[in-house]
Structure 1
């Protein structure tokens, strides 16, 4: 899957940064420079992909790999 970062700017000046195709905290690393340039983060919503790496690690540790 392609990795992309989508930035949306609304008419009232609010911005939203959305990452696609990343798993785990890789999305935060990839978008950090954009978020720093835009200013203070007001909220964060994680997607199922964010938890994907943690779930895979847990399954491997439990012997289900």
Structure 2
């Protein structure tokens, strides 16, 4: 199952976590959120992002 979690801190900072995506799918799936939330401050990719060819699930965390 592919899902993403959005966390908004009291200061207004947001974090998007994707679960169940492989490779660049996570970026494609969250593009509309990135557009709505503004400029990305940082991005942290897990090892699963780079092992897309193995079919492993990917969890990507993007902080804005």
How high is the TM-score relative to the length of structure 1? 0.76
More strand by share: 2
CA RMSD of aligned residues (A): 1.5
Larger gyration radius, structure 1 or structure 2: 1
Residues paired across the two proteins, number: 55
Structure 1 runs, 4 residues or longer, greater than 4 Å off: none
Which structure 2 segments of 5+ residues have no match?
Answer: 56-64
More helix by share: 1
How high is the TM-score relative to the length of structure 2? 0.78
